[in-house]
């Protein structure tokens, strides 16, 4: 029963990822794609969490944290890139 | 160490000393020191004659690479001794001549004598070696020494051309020879010539290829038709070299080879016709071409070609085992040719040295100015033409005897074709007579015109005349006392060429100066009469040479061939070496598909056993679809950013796969690496233009599609096949005890740093190198900031 619920959750997460992917592919503008990617990242976090419950292990908690961090950093860098054209500022005068 | 080895290695030792002598004893002409070497060797060889004449054989061996059966084995029999005497004897005379010919002030004498000594040592090595690999080594050394000597005046274009040509042709032959020798050693399982000779190889399937390859080696070295073209161009060498290498010794290495391997190959119809036929064609073509030459040395070069053809032809006839006279004649003419050709080259060198030209159109009327040279020229030329009382007469008579006897044989189709041999030989002799006359008469008779000469013409110094005089005396001596060398030298040599045939009986007093009114005498008379008539009417028929177009010559073929090959090679290279990485990748992928896919199909290697496969769950399918979607997006997108995002999606889904397949460490690493990679891609894009529209045609894209599909399918098939073909269980159960073995609960990390820590160290090294590489690429742009 519990496992069934988890699988249903996974299914809806997959649908959510696919919908996000559609936005990544289609996305009329670049911010659309970046946002979709961010959403996919969060969905993946949820998916990994459900997996951990399904597989009855704690080994994947690191991954959940990591995806959270990376997804944040990734979205920030994409945003900065879209806004300014570069990610790391090049200090000329110091 | 046997004294013989020392003798054979002396030239090389001396070659080491020559530069020192040249530098520290500059007052004495270096040639005087060098002269000691051939004289010493010659005396040593003379000492061996009585022993060899009794039929004894000197054998000795020094290990070189014993584990491979390669030893420096030395073997002295009659045949080797003749060559040894020629090499050292003519060598001594040539060195003496060169002392006066080569100027001490102007020439780089140390180079000259080092090359000459290397050549002499190599040539002695060729004729005395019993081991075929050692023989080949010395054989190539003669080619290289000859190359160096021809290009002695390397500032001249023609010298370099001649040297290159001779090297290309003789090395081609040398490699063929090596292949032939290896075939022989495969057939007989030995490297020793003596043991090869005793084995009966006829009927072996490698017999014919070995024969052909060895003959190519011999014919290229001995300037036989159609490989004769290098010899006239080798005349750019200093005249002592032409006299020594290109008349008396190196070009006879091929003859030595033919004679040496006659016991192995002789007696077969292929050998008979190949050797005889090539010889007689070379004889005819060489003598025919010699007449049209204007340069004295070129004339002598073609005459050498034709005389070598004569000797080869006689060896071919003699291989039939029925015409032993022919072998005798070949050996006798071998010696005679060395004497008179050496003499002639030296005389021509004197003429060149004292008049400043070798062109017969400019020469003339030197008779009274250079009487000794004139006499020497007469002796040499008349001997070459085959006139009494010179030794060439005897060998020419023997030659006629040989071809006449051969034409009467009832084997090898000689009953139908045999008559061709004497006729061709006779025609060739007429041409020989004509160019011999040209040599003497056009150079020395006629009117002396002062204006034609650049320098004041006078008789050569005595030192320069000693060597040709010595040879001229030999020419006369061989005529009057032919049986002395016949009994002492030629007989043991004959039993070396035709072992087991003579058994000590046979040829004693075989040579008679006058042997009655035989056919041969009438043939010689005919040669003289017709030759004189033709010489007198030379102007009336020399137009036939004009009618032979230049394109008929093998030189044209060689030159065009070289140019053509170069062009072809560069065209082919240009065709496929496009400089576009895309094309090279295409080659690699096509090759991969053909080889791997081909072996899958042809060897019927594809197997598929679904029984061992795990079950597929729904979320794996969904993730797979995501990856496929993203991959298609990457391929079809028009924007780089979209492509990178697609790649990022693939990377993250792969990380999810790692999660599903229970690999948390991999998932962690994959996520971080993927993020960094995507960030790096973004970094690059700042500097890159947008993806352009595909400009290539549809054909190009279709080809790429086919190749990429091919690669994908092949890899998939291989993976499926490999999965279905597990030969044994995995060894991972060992690592499951990692806590016991390494004190670690994480197997992956235990493997990385404990069980297989060595790989990890090198991966760290890879990352370090990559880091340094990136750093230096960014910080050290030499072309831009080097002046900062």
Q: What's CA B254's distance to the chain center, in Å?
A: 13
**pLDDT per residue over B306-327, tens digit each?**
989 988 888 888 877 667 778 8
What is the chain B residue with the closest CA to A25?
Answer: B633
Q: What residues does B192 pair with on adjacent strands?
A: B131
CB contact under 8 Å between B646 and A24, yes or no, is yes
Q: How many CB atoms lie within 10 A of CB B484?
A: 11
Is B678–A14 a contact, with Cβ atoms under 8 angstroms apart?
no
Q: Has residue B1 got a pLDDT over 60?
A: no
Please tell me if residue A11 touches chain B, with a CB cutoff of 8 Å. yes
Kindly tell me if the per-residue pLDDT of B412 is higher than 70.
Answer: no
Per-residue pLDDT reduced to its tens digit, B109-121:
888 889 989 999 9
Does A74 touch chain B if contact means CB atoms closer than 8 Å? yes
pLDDT at B553: 73
| Nearest chain A CA: its distance from B622 CA (Å) | 7
| Burial (CB count <10 Å: 0-12, 13-18, 19+), residue B572 | exposed
Hey, are the CB atoms on A60 and B664 less than 8 Å from each other?
A: yes
Question: A69 and chain B: CB distance < 8 Å anywhere?
Answer: no
Judge contact between B111 and B15, C-beta under 8 A: no
B501 Ramachandran zone, left/alpha/beta (phi>0; psi -120 to 50): alpha
| Token pair for B49 | 């004659």
- Banded pLDDT at B698 (limits 50, 70, 90): low
Cβ of A55 within 8 Å of Cβ of B619? The answer is no
Q: Does any CB of chain A come closer than 8 Å to the CB of residue B568?
A: no
A54 vs B: CB within 8 A: no
What is the per-residue pLDDT across B14-36, written as a single tens digit (0 to 9) for each?
888 888 888 888 888 888 888 88
Cβ-Cβ contacts under 8 Å, B651 against chain A: none
Instruction: Please check whether residue B671 touches A, CB under 8 A.
Output: yes
Beta bridge partners of B59: B75
Note whether B649 contacts A24, CB cutoff 8 Å.
yes
A30 in B contact zone (CB under 8 Å): yes
- The minimal CB distance from B678 to the residues A10, A62, A74 is found for A74
CB interface of B with A, residues 632-661, below 8 Å? 633, 641-642, 645-646, 648-649, 652, 655-656, 659-660
Three-state secondary structure call for residue B515 = coil
A35 touches chain B (CB under 8 A): no
Q: Do residue B629 and residue A21 have CB atoms under 8 angstroms apart?
A: yes
Where along chain B do its domains lie? Answer: 271-501+510-536, 639-690, 751-788
Lowest mean pLDDT of A59-63, A67-71, B196-200, B552-556, name the range. B552-556
Q: Where are the domains of chain A?
A: 2-16+27-84
pLDDT of residue B576: 86
* CB-nearest partner of A24 from B645, B678, B686: B645
Q: How far is B765 from chain A (nearest CA, A)?
A: 26
Residues of B in contact with A24 (CB under 8 A): 630, 633, 645-646, 649
- Asked whether the predicted pLDDT for residue B178 surpasses 90, the reply is yes
- The pair of structure tokens assigned to B671 is 């996520």
Q: Which candidate, B573, B552, B606, places its Cα nearest to that of B722?
A: B606
Beta carbons of B101 and B238 less than 8 angstroms apart = yes
Answer whether B659 sits within 8 Å of A33, measured CB to CB: no
Residues in A closer than 8 angstroms to B645, CB to CB, are 24, 33-34, 37
Of the candidates B619, B629, B668, the beta carbon closest to that of A63 is on: B668
Lowest mean pLDDT among B138-142, B277-281, B416-420: B416-420
- Chain A nearest C-alpha distance from B593 (Å): 32
- In the predicted model, what is the mean pLDDT of residues B334-340? 88
The number of beta carbons lying within 10 Å of the beta carbon of residue B513 is 13
**Contact across the interface for A63 and B671, Cβ inside 8 Å:** yes
Task: Answer whether residue B616 shows pLDDT above 90.
Answer: no
The three-state secondary structure class of B295 is: strand
Whole-number Å distance between alpha carbons of B208 and B216: 12
* pLDDT on residue B695: 57
Query: How many Å apart are CA B90 and CA B38, to the nearest integer?
Result: 9
**pLDDT tens for residues B476-535?**
888 888 777 777 777 777 777 777 655 545 555 455 655 667 777 888 888 888 888 888
The token duo for B102 is 């080569």
Query: Does A73 contact chain B (CB < 8 Å)?
Result: yes
CB-based contact, B691 to chain A, within 8 Å: no
Query: What is the per-residue pLDDT across B345-377, written as a single tens digit (0 to 9) for each?
Result: 888 888 888 887 788 887 777 777 788 888 888
Nearest to A37 among B648, B662, B686 (CB): B648
Q: Give yes or no for A45 touching B (CB within 8 A).
A: no
Neighbours of B323 (CB within 10 A): 23
Please, are residues B710 and B589 in contact by the beta-carbon 8 Å criterion? yes
Q: Token pair of B246, please?
A: 């290109």
Percent of chain B with pLDDT over 90: 9
| Distance of residue B766 Cα from the nearest chain A Cα, in angstroms | 25
3-state SS, B162-213, equals: HHHHHHHHHHHHHHHHHHHHHHHHHHHCCCEHHHHHHCCCCCCCCHHHHHHH
What does the DSSP assignment read for B48-103?
HHHHHHTT--EEEEEEEEGGGTEEEEEEE-HHHHHHHHHHHHHHHHHHHHHHHHS-
Region of B606 on the Ramachandran plot (φ > 0 left; ψ -120 to 50 alpha; else beta): beta
Which one is predicted more confidently, B689 or B9? B9
Closest residue to A63, CB basis, from B633, B645, B667? B667
Closest residue in B to A66 (Cα) is B668
**Quick one: pLDDT at residue B788?**
47
Residues of A in contact with B671 (CB under 8 A): 63, 66-67, 70
- Residues of A within 8 A of B642 (CB-CB) are 25, 33
Instruction: Write down the pLDDT at residue B137.
Output: 92
Report pTM: 0.79
Give residue B763's pLDDT band: very low, low, confident or very high (50, 70, 90): very high
B70-76/B58-65 β-pairing: antiparallel
List CB contacts (< 8 A) between B659 and chain A. Answer: 48, 51, 60, 63
- Cβ neighbours, 10 Å, residue B715: 14
Q: How many CA atoms lie within 13 A of B587 on its CB side?
A: 9
Residue A68 touches partner B, C-beta closer than 8 Å: no
C-beta atoms of A66 and B656 within 8 A: no
Q: Which residues of B touch A60 (CB under 8 A)?
A: 659, 664, 667
Whether pLDDT at B442 is above 90: no
CB atoms B686 and A14 under 8 Å: no
Note whether B664 contacts A59, CB cutoff 8 Å: yes
Q: Is B175 on the interface with A (CB under 8 A)?
A: no
Select from B619, B633, B645 the Cβ nearest to the Cβ of A37. B645
Residue of B nearest to A68 (CA): B671
Burial B18-56 (b: 16+ CB within 10 A, else e): beebbeeeeeebbbebbbebbbebbebbeebbeebbeee
Q: In the predicted model, what is the mean pLDDT of residues B152-158?
A: 88
Quote the mean pLDDT of chain B: 83
pLDDT of res. B568: 93
- Work out the angle at residue B91's Cα, subtended by the Cα atoms of residues B89 and B92, and round it to the nearest 5 degrees: 70
Whole-angstrom CA distances from B459 to A82, B234, B300, B358, B371 are 98, 27, 22, 16, 7
Chain B residues touching A68 at Cβ < 8 A: none
ipTM at complex level: 0.75
Residue B553 vs residue B377, higher pLDDT: B377
pLDDT value for B773 = 93
Q: How far is CA B457 from the centre of its chain?
A: 42
The whole-number pLDDT of residue B761 equals: 94
**pLDDT band per the 50, 70, 90 thresholds, residue B691:** low
User: Would you give per-residue pLDDT tens digits along chain A (94 residues)?
Assistant: 888 898 899 889 888 988 888 887 787 888 888 888 889 888 888 988 988 888 888 888 888 888 888 888 888 887 887 887 766 777 665 5
Which of B646, B656, B664 minimises the CB distance to A44? B656
Closest Cα of chain B to A23: distance in Å?
A: 11
Neighbours of A45 (CB within 10 A): 18
Nearest residue to B468 via CA among B342, B578, B365, B628: B342
First to last CA, chain B: 68
Q: Mean pLDDT throughout B213-229?
A: 88
Touching check for A4 and chain B: CB below 8 Å? no
What integer pLDDT is reported at residue B176 of this predicted model? 92
Looking at residue B359, the DSSP 8-state letter turns out to be B
Of B629, B641, B672, the CB nearest to A70: B672
Give the contacts of B398 (CB within 8 A, at least 6 positions apart).
B325, B328, B329, B332, B333, B511
Number of H helices and E strands in chain B, helices first, is 36, 2
Nearest to B679 among A59, A77, A85 (CB): A77
pLDDT range class, residue B405, cuts 50, 70, 90: confident
pLDDT tops 60 at residue B9: yes
> What are the tens digits of pLDDT across the range B50-102?
887 777 788 888 888 888 888 888 888 888 888 888 888 888 998 888 888 88
B324 or B677: which carries more pLDDT confidence?
Answer: B677
Q: HSE-up of B379 (CA within 13 Å, CB side)?
A: 27
d(CA B553, CA B715): 57
Least confident of A90-94, B569-573, B742-746: A90-94
* Residue B686 confidence (pLDDT): 66
């Amino acid at each position: 029963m519990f496992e069934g619920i988890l699988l249903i959750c996974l299914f809806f997460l997959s649908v959510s990822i696919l919908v996000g992917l559609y936005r990544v592919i289609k996305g009329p503008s670049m911010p659309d794609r970046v946002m979709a990617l961010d959403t996919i990242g969060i969905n993946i976090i949820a998916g990994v969490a459900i997996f951990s419950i399904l597989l009855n292990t704690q080994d994947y908690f690191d991954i959940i944290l990591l995806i959270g961090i990376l997804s944040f950093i990734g979205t920030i860098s994409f945003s900065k890139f879209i806004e300014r054209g570069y990610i790391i500022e090049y200090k000329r005068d110091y | 160490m046997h004294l013989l080895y020392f003798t054979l290695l002396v030239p090389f030792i001396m070659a080491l000393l020559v530069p020192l002598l040249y530098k520290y004893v500059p007052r004495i002409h270096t040639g005087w020191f060098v002269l000691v070497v051939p004289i010493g060797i010659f005396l040593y060889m003379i000492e061996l004659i009585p022993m060899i004449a009794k039929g004894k054989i000197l054998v000795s061996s020094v290990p070189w690479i014993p584990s491979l059966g390669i030893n420096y084995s030395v073997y002295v029999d009659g045949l080797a001794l003749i060559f040894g005497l020629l090499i050292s004897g003519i060598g001594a005379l040539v060195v003496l001549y060169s002392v006066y010919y080569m100027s001490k002030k102007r020439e780089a004498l140390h180079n000259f004598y080092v090359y000459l000594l290397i050549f002499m040592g190599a040539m002695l090595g060729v004729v005395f070696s019993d081991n075929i690999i050692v023989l080949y080594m010395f054989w190539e050394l003669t080619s290289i020494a000859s190359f160096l000597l021809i290009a002695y005046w390397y500032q001249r274009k023609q010298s370099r051309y001649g040297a290159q040509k001779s090297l290309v042709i003789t090395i081609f032959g040398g490699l063929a020879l090596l292949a032939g020798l290896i075939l022989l050693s495969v057939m007989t399982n030995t490297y020793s010539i003596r043991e090869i000779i005793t084995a009966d190889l006829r009927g072996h399937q490698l017999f014919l290829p070995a024969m052909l390859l060895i003959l190519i080696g011999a014919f290229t070295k001995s300037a036989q038709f159609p490989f004769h073209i290098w010899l006239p161009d080798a005349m750019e060498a200093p005249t002592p070299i032409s006299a020594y290498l290109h008349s008396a010794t190196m070009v006879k290495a091929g003859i030595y080879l033919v004679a040496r391997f006659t016991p192995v190959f002789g007696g077969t119809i292929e050998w008979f016709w190949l050797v005889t036929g090539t010889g007689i064609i070379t004889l005819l073509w060489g003598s025919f071409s010699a007449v049209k030459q204007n340069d004295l040395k070129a004339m002598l070069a073609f005459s050498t070609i034709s005389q070598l053809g004569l000797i080869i032809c006689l060896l071919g006839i003699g291989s039939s085992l029925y015409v032993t006279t022919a072998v005798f004649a070949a050996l006798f003419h071998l010696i005679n040719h060395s004497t008179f050709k050496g003499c002639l080259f030296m005389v021509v060198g004197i003429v060149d040295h004292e008049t400043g030209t070798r062109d017969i159109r400019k020469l003339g009327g030197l008779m009274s100015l250079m009487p000794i040279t004139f006499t020497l020229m007469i002796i040499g030329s008349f001997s070459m033409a085959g006139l009494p009382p010179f030794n060439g007469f005897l060998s020419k008579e023997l030659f006629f005897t040989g071809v006449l006897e051969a034409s009467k044989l009832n084997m090898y189709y000689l009953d139908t074709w045999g008559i061709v041999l004497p006729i061709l030989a006779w025609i060739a002799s007429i041409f020989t007579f004509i160019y011999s006359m040209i040599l003497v008469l056009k150079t020395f008779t006629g009117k002396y015109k002062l204006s034609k000469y650049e320098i004041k013409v006078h008789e050569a110094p005595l030192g320069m005349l000693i060597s040709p005089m010595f040879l001229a005396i030999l020419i006369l001596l061989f005529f009057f006392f032919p049986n002395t060398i016949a009994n002492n030298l030629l007989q043991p040599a004959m039993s070396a060429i035709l072992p087991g045939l003579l058994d000590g009986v046979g040829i004693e007093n075989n040579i008679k100066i006058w042997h009655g009114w035989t056919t041969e005498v009438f043939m010689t008379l005919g040669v003289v009469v017709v030759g004189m008539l033709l010489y007198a009417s030379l102007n009336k028929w020399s137009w036939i040479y004009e009618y032979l177009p230049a394109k008929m010559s093998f030189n044209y073929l060689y030159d065009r061939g070289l140019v053509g090959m170069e062009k072809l090679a560069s065209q082919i290279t240009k065709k496929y070496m496009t400089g576009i990485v895309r094309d090279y990748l295409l080659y690699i992928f096509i090759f991969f598909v053909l080889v791997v896919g081909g072996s899958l199909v042809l060897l019927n290697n594809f197997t598929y056993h679904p029984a061992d496969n795990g079950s597929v769950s729904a979320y794996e399918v969904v993730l797979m679809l995501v990856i496929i979607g993203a991959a298609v997006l990457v391929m079809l997108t028009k924007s780089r950013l979209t492509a990178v995002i697609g790649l990022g999606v693939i990377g993250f889904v792969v990380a999810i796969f790692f999660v599903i397949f229970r690999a948390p460490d991999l998932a962690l690493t994959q996520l971080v690496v993927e993020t960094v990679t995507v960030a790096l891609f973004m970094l690059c894009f700042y500097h890159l233009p947008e993806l352009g529209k595909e400009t290539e045609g549809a054909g190009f894209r279709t080809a790429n599609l086919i190749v990429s599909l091919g690669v994908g399918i092949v890899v998939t098939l291989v993976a499926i096949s490999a999965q279905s073909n597990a030969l044994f269980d995995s060894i991972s159960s060992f690592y499951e005890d990692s806590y016991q073995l390494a004190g670690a609960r994480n197997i992956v990390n235990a493997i990385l740093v404990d069980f297989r820590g060595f790989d990890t160290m090198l991966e760290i090294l890879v990352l370090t190198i990559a880091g340094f590489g990136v750093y230096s690429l960014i910080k050290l742009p030499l072309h831009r900031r080097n002046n900062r």
